[in-house]
Amino acid sequence: MIGTVSRKRPAASNQPFSSFMTEPVFRFAPSPNGHLHLGHALSALLNARAAVALHGRFLVRIEDIDQTRCTPDLERDMFEDLAWLGVPLNEPVLRQSEAFPHYRSALEKLQDLGLVYPAYLTRAEIKRFVAAFEEKGIPWPRDPDGAPLYPGDDVVLSEAEIQERAQSDAPFALRLDMTAALGRIDEPLTWQEFGAEGPALFEPAKTIAADAASWGDVVLARKDTPTSYHLSVVIDDARQGITDVLRGQDLYAATSVHRVLQHLLNLPEPRYRHHRLILGDDGRKLSKSNQDTSLRSLKVSGVTHVELRRRIGL
Ligand code: GLU
């Protein structure tokens, strides 16, 4: 039973999980690699509101594993923007750049299970391989975000090339062998999807069947940093005792990967609540490069809280 497995205390953490059964714990987990925009405002406010509505707690987590793009200046601006929004900063604020030992020990567990392999292909090599393959008229499989599935070093490189890279200092990522990982899980993986705002917060969950195979061999440790989004997010949701992961719909499909990692690492299964996205005038999801929807530029142009909330439908 997933429920039984998921409530076990994770070995990677010393934090008690007794609160999981009782008090809901929500989190807003931005990455300070650009300025917060209207989509972040929606996410932060929905989390803070849900915590109040469900008599729980609300925490902030700084997802700064990318130490080249996340800067102290952007982090300072982010805190200013959250203060302007009126989002409470309850302690402790967890910073992922201070948690690398936790990710390393989780990675070691997965390595001990024989589920991790070094992957040497560069993005350009994958792109070239996929383009050449698709010239034959057969589409190469893509993950739910549209990225080509990792083809495997031995499909693209010769044995000698792999040897040469392994013996030199060629950078490599660590990937999860998804087929082997799923082979270790002898029950259908699911998650419980609840509503993200308003009365839907209180409605019963829908059981969603996870489809992790569609992601292929996801990255667990990047070439430039010894972890990845997928690995850190499951470790930290467990370390912070998060019971309710309320985040954008753009991460809905990634939940399948998170459920696999939670299962393999014996971490608790949170409730999931994916919220609507705020789209730009072009109908696309907002990104940090859309300067005109950044909270800072709205604040400077005199947008009030009332106007801001109206724009995000709150
Ligand atoms: N750090 C991610 C982002 O800024 C959010 C991750 C999550 O909520 O799971 O998009």
Joined tokens for residue 215: 């992601």
Joined tokens for residue 254: 């990634």
For 71, residues 6+ apart whose C-beta sits below 8 A from its C-beta are 32
* Amino acid 76: pLDDT: 95
Q: Ligand 1 pocket, 30 CB below 6 A?
A: yes
Which numbered atom of ligand 1 lies nearest the CA of 254? 9
Which numbered atom of ligand 1 lies nearest the CA of 247? 8
CA distance 85 to 156: 49
pTM: 0.91
Closest CA to 231 of 91, 73, 44, 101: 101
Q: Choose one of 233, 261, 273 to mutate for the ligand 1 pocket test, by most ligand atoms within 8 angstroms of C-beta.
A: 233
Domains and CATH numbers, the chain: 25-120+171-311 (3.40.50.620), 124-163 (no CATH)
One pLDDT digit (tens) per residue for the chain, 314 residues? 233 333 333 333 334 433 345 799 999 999 999 999 999 999 999 999 999 999 999 999 999 999 999 999 999 999 999 999 999 888 889 999 999 999 999 999 999 999 999 999 999 999 999 999 999 999 999 999 999 999 999 999 999 999 999 999 899 999 999 999 999 999 999 999 999 999 999 999 999 999 999 999 999 999 999 999 999 999 999 999 999 999 999 999 999 999 999 999 999 999 999 999 998 877 787 777 776 689 999 999 999 988 999 999 99
Question: Tokens 């370390």 label which residue?
Answer: 239
Q: Choose one of 46, 96, 251 to mutate for the ligand 1 pocket test, by most ligand atoms within 8 angstroms of C-beta.
A: 251
Asked if 77 and 296 count as a contact pair (C-beta separation under 8 A), the reply is: yes
CA distance 248 to 40: 9
